[in-house]
Structure 1
Amino acid sequence: MSTLMKLGVVKVLTNQGQGCKIAACTFVQNRNIAGKSLRSSLPTPPPKPAPFDYVNKDYTWLRSLFDRTTHRFDENSKVVVVEGPVAVGKTKFAAMLAEDLGMKHFPEANMDIHYIRPNGCDLRMFDDQIPEDTRTFDHVNFNLCPNHRLAGNYQIMMYIARYSQYIDALAHLLNTGQGVVLERSPYSDFVFLEAMYKQKYISRAVRQVYYELRAESLEELMRPHLVIYLDLPVPKVQEAIKSRKLDHEVNGRALTTQFLTEIETQYKNKYLRDISTHAELLVVEDIERLNFDQYTEREEPKMKDWRLPREVDWADQRMLYTNQKFFLMNLFGIPKLDVPELLTSADDAYERIKVIESHPKFAYMEGYNEGGTLFKTKMSKYTEYI
């Protein structure tokens, strides 16, 4: 990581020639990513349209006639994903990278997206009042008790959390032109599922459901431009885990040598091999040699998701991630009645709902209170989860 930062992150090739236009699209691919040092040495770029307020407004077909998506793009309008084993330093690296590139940093998705509600309440506070099968279960619980009945449901919900965050990242890029840096993604989430399965933390049936949901949902996303893998041998990972002194990691039963080794195996033998057919895959020292402009042929698999031929195609993708996140998240609403560990009894579910809804903060729907309902015409637009 220090080597990369000494290089200025993106001391990239200085030849900034433009690539070829594709069909009727006005966007011309930029061949490199530019960091602070390079941007400061170049002429001031022409002004771009102001970012679109996608959180509160819909991007409609009519608006797309006047607000072109690619007019906000520049050389840093990219999706960058930082991957690596546990405790390798992804958060610090991704934050520094995003700051240098002028991109938005998305910290790693976690179960907070499911448990912390818009009214500020954390659903974990109800755990001692509700049946065990309906309680929250996050990474802390998993590290301490990886064979728990809820472990399989936890990993599926982690995939959903990463999926939700990735939609947000795509919406941000397409509506603002600002690139994004994420820590892990829904594309790599399966490495944890496979490690859990190999250690018999989850059943074959849960694994099958996971891949059914993955197949149903993943094709709706646009794959990243760049994946940076921070490599660290398992013995060094174990040292890093001990160094950060988190009790649930150090004294938990999940992060065994076999579990960490399987994560590394799945990363290197499966994920990195598969994602490299589309994205650039780099070790940190290689980032200065990026050249995205070499992939312009229609049948070239690399960067295929980002070579849309017409402006209307960009508008369609932008409308999908801006306006229709709710429908994308509904892809996970597939009932699976033959996997017991993914089911909760009706009685237990009722007890949970009764306890939560008795709390004063849950007396009203989000955005509502005891007064002013006459003038309320719509609910919040934004969808975090389902």
Structure 2
Amino acid sequence: MRVPVHGRGDSTLPLLLHGYAWLPNRLRETAGAPVRTHLLGHPAIALHGPQAVQFFYDEENVRRSGAVPDPVLDTLFGRGAVHTLDGAAHRVRKALFLALLKDPAGVEALTEAVVAQWREAVAGDGGGAVVLFDTAAEALAGAVCAWVGLAPTAEQARLIAHDCVAMVDGFATPGLRHLRARHSRTRQEAALAALVTAVRDGRQQVRPGSALEAVAGHRDVDGLPADERTCAVELLNIIRPTVAITWFITFAAHALHRHPDLAEELRAASGRQLRDLSTAFAHEVRRFYPFVPFVGGVAARDLTWQGVRIDQGTMVLLDVYGHHHDAGLWHNPYHFTPARFTADPDAVDRLVAQGGGDPALGHRCPGEDITVSVLAAFVGELAHLDPEVPDQDLTIPLSRIPTRPHSGFVLRLPTAAADASAAPAARPGR
């Protein structure tokens, strides 16, 4: 029997201090056996490995209702979000997202819109310097808002980008970042709730087939329309994660800079080869770089995990960052190697960057296809743009959640940026 090591008091402060390294370090002490601890005063147990992924994403074992702490609800997900539901209520709400986010034509349309927004931005800055993190976030916000069915002005799109970045940046930390995240969510929820009300009252035209139309008309498991604030929350749960791809895009630029041989390989590719290389690169960015440290739920009943008792109501944590750097699952895991995904197409199934299991049945993110598609397209764009990277602080601190390069990754664009960015966007693929 694998005996869990009992915690040394509450781990909230060590988590805040050590960030992504906290849970892998604790699991290393136990050789991968479960770790018992406390977070925010609640008993918790941390699990690791492929079998733990299956165990965690089985709704019979782990539920989400009541699992997300209030500070995270009030910043990242929103009250009443799909992330907080279980059973039939979850499946009915999740079906809304699956219909919108898993449609290949919709994924392609959003990807093309993002690339168009990005090219417009860099075309206007030829020869100048831009902060990639900020510029990509604005391109993502403008594209996804139009795709959802909103019609924001350029200034409104910039504010939405700012607020969505703040929601992600401040969910896991106390202080000013957290207050900024709360303020941003309150502002955007109010604006979107008012828009949903106007749509339902017939005062606002809505594009047929759009996400705005679908969310405003959605009925939950009880057959009743979701209230306007919940609709706003779920619209943000399309917009915010799309804007959050800017973290992965910035990491991709970091990898291209650190591995010029891979950038050259991408520049030399075209067509199907470019698509495959860019997609493999996108998967490796999601594996290698730190974004989600772990995910959590609550034991739905008294459980036994590999001989270890887990009492009902215990917080269950699934290691994500450590999973992606486990030498038992990945050859040379601390080396950035996109070729692992072209050599072994099934390797993508070991990724848990956006959850595990079947997105139609559990809590795996239904927007994963959009993330991979948009990120792969940006990989091709950045490689063909081949910008100058001036001296800057590209440190990625593991103590900060979520983390990113300190500088936001400053690029100095070629004078002919519009021409350099005109390579065909890479298309997704497994």
TM-score normalised by length of structure 1: 0.28
| Higher RCO (CA-CA < 8 Å; seq separation 6+) | 1
Q: Which has the larger radius of gyration?
A: 1
